[in-house]
Amino acid sequence: MASTSQQPLTTAEDYSGDASVHDARLVDAARRGDKDAFGSLVRRYERRLIRVLLRFVSDYELSRDLAQETFLRAYERLDQFDPSRRFGPWLFQIGVNLTLDYLRRRKRRGRWSLFSDSPAERPPDPEVVDPRQQIDLSQEVQVVLDRVPEKYRSVLILRDLEGFTTSEIAAILNRKEATIRWRLAEARTRFQALWNKRQGNGSAASPDAENGNSDGGSDSDELQAGEE
């Protein structure tokens, strides 16, 4: 495996054209008190929202709870929604931020490991020569992603695993598109180095690439990429 972008596991849903127009009408109706209209938005986005959040927490029940809280917050903030924006990226921005905040709180309490239930993290069976042979590719990807710093990991998940466009990710993460493109390139480089090291077929990864607790990169790098 050369990178997470070789075989995207899913493709992006269409947030443009008629879908956006329909979303705008539903949002307008919901803001006027039509709960059925908001229910339609929930049904439209619920499955994908759960799937995206599951990428971050690797716990289905937790991803459902976070999705439920996301919809609740979106409903409470409908009066703050800018009708000139698309509803989908706005909703995912709430969900991703909520999930990252949750993970940071757990991390500060010293009890967070992004994929702690992965078989790769369990003590190896002495009878098994290579425990990696017992886990599938998706689990291997998750274990490596765990070691990529958060700001790069988020972009990598949204782009290469969930198929969001650069403009959608920029809206979700509230960053400029140039910054997202820079982070994606850096994320792929870091992932590749960590993947090669784990598979034993490449040179050692850099300290920044290995340190999942560090954002890595310099402020000047992102300024050059368009971040203000």
The pLDDT tens digits of the residues spanning 135-189 come to 577 788 888 998 999 999 999 999 999 999 999 999 999 999 999 999 999 999 9
| pTM for the whole structure | 0.70
User: Regarding the domain delimited by 18-121+131-225, which CATH topology (the fold level of the hierarchy) does it fall under?
Assistant: Rna Polymerase Sigma Factor; Chain: A (1.10.1740)
Dist CA 53 CA 70 (whole Å)? 10
Contacts 24+ apart (CB under 8 A), 202-208: 208/149
Question: What is the token pair recorded at 204?
Answer: 């050692």
What are the boundaries of each domain within the chain?
Answer: 18-121+131-225
The pLDDT tens digits of the residues spanning 150-165 come to 999 999 999 999 999 9
Question: What is the token pair recorded at 196?
Answer: 């090669």
Dist CA 54 CA 64 (whole Å)? 8
Dist CA 77 CA 75 (whole Å)? 5
